[in-house]
Amino acid sequence: MTQRVLTTESGAPVADNQNSATAGVGGPLLLQDQHLLEKLARFNRERIPERVVHARGSGAHGYFEVTDDVTGFTKADFLSAVGKRTETFIRFSTVADSLGGADAVRDPRGFALKFYTEEGNYDLVGNNTPVFFIKDPIKFPDFIHSQKRDPFTGKQEPDNVWDFWAHSPESTHQITWLMGDRGIPASYRHMNGYGSHTYQWTNAEGEAFFVKYHFKTNQGIRCLSSEQAAEVVGSDANSHQTDLLQAIERGVNPSWTLHVQVMPAAEAADYRFNPFDLTKVWPHADYPLQRVGRLVLDRNPENVFAEVEQAAFSPNNFVPGIGPSPDKMLQGRLFAYADAHRYRLGVNHTLLPVNAPKATTAQNYGRDGIMATRNGSRHEKNYEPNSYAGPAQIDGAQSAPLAVQGWTGTHAAPAHVKDDGFFQAGELYRLMSEDEKQRLVANIAGGLSQVGRDDVIEKNLAHFHAADADYGKRVEEAVRALRED
């Protein structure tokens, strides 16, 4: 193999990459050593700001294959025929900790999926839980601040975590998920993924449906107890990354089966609770799972920084036949995710290979800005409409319109018959086996008992009592026992 020549950024050959230029043997360095200065300056800048949330992540390439006909619900082209395959990229992540955090911790997991469709990229941003802690995005920065490292102690503080939850009764359902057996997945391969939000599908006839996505792992659910997780973290803080990387390298390609719940749009207004509330699930008895296809991961990234850390997922990247719902958390994320990428990666982040369309070509009038690589020529105008055959709109809506009415203002969510923050948490608790209940109570009490303020503890206990009398009684007794020790 011919040895390639090492060059500077400008392409000039490097004579010596082992010794800096000095003023004589053993003398001080010279400012004129352009190669040294360029290397140090680039090194200082080779990391971008990490994500505020979902900083610690792993990713893989794969494909999605349609296995069942869903054309009665959506006109999305990548779902238009059984057997059709679409290239994908997925990023798994923890939520609260920094880029250097451990994998096997009690935390929700991000499940962000990019479909490189022939109609543009479609991004589905979800978690490994079907619900979330809050239902209004105005509370999101406060929630994350309560879960992140405290600015004084530099570590996550139970006082902050449980104080926020004490003032957010709608969090009780997700707390029950998080503190239960599925709170620490054994690996990314052994957990489900959910779109979590409610989305809208529209078919070719213009009929609208609201849907929820469920990616069921074909490897089976496997989770860790708190004790097992502590042991795993001690031996390999990167355990989830290691597992995913090695499985794909061995040819053991993980897969998930996608199902959706489908609600005709007309049924949403009179449903017994707000179907757009992110803290609640739709019972399968009301809206059964319907199979759509299969997600397979079969290739590891060649460069984690370029393909995992620079991967940008935005829930506002829709394709014809798929659109948003009135889910308030989704509406907030339509702005927040894209804005985060513009800050971290720059306004031209969609031109990076992992984010650029693969099955089609982006054609618009965006140009210039930092790191622009698509500026056009003197023959290409950067305004529209124009007389020079530039790209033009296709007309026609991508999804069905959403009806709105009433006065603008800061309204609480519309009230439905069973809109409280506790009943689904109670239902989840009652589904658990006795052993599962014991572990759930122990996990909650372990954190809540460390809170310094009695009133914060009492407010949280009231939430568990409201969810289920036995649930509340057990947590209260466990907290009391730990505080008396």
Residues labelled as active-site residues: 54, 127
63 CB-contact burial (10 Å; exposed 0-12 / middle 13-18 / buried 19+):
middle
Using CA atoms in the order 403, 407, 413, 416, what is the torsion angle rounded to 10 degrees?
-70
What contacts 168, CB < 8 A, 6 or more positions away? 133, 134, 139, 143
Within 8 A by CB and 6+ apart from 320, the residues are: 75, 76, 77, 119, 398, 399
Distance of CA 258 to the CA centre of its chain: 17
Beta bridge pairs of residue 374: none
Task: Determine the angle formed by the axes of helices 158-166 and 454-467, rounding to 10 degrees.
Answer: 50
Q: How far apart (Å, rounded) are the C-alpha atoms in residues 154 and 418?
A: 40
CA distances from 234 to 103, 174, 222 (A): 11, 27, 19
- The candidate with the shortest Cα–Cα distance to 133, out of 99, 101, 161, is 161
Please state, in angstroms and as integers, the Cα–Cα distance from residue 83 to each residue in 80, 292, 311, 321, following that order.
9, 11, 27, 19
For 246-360, list the strands marked E by DSSP. 255-264, 290-299, 322-324
CA gap 164, 211 in Å, rounded: 30
The CA–CA distances, whole Å, from 180 to 107, 225, 259, 434, 437 equal 11, 9, 24, 12, 8
CA distances from 325 to 127, 280, 317, 333, 459 (A): 18, 15, 14, 12, 33
Return d(Cα 401, Cα 399) in angstroms, integer.
7
**Consecutive H or E run containing 173:** helix 172-179
Structure tokens at 46: 């080779």
Pairwise CA distance, residues 475 & 427, whole Å? 16
How are beta strands 109-117 and 255-264 bridged, if at all?
unpaired
CB 240 within 8 A of CB 230: no
Torsion 69-73-77-78 (CA) sign: negative
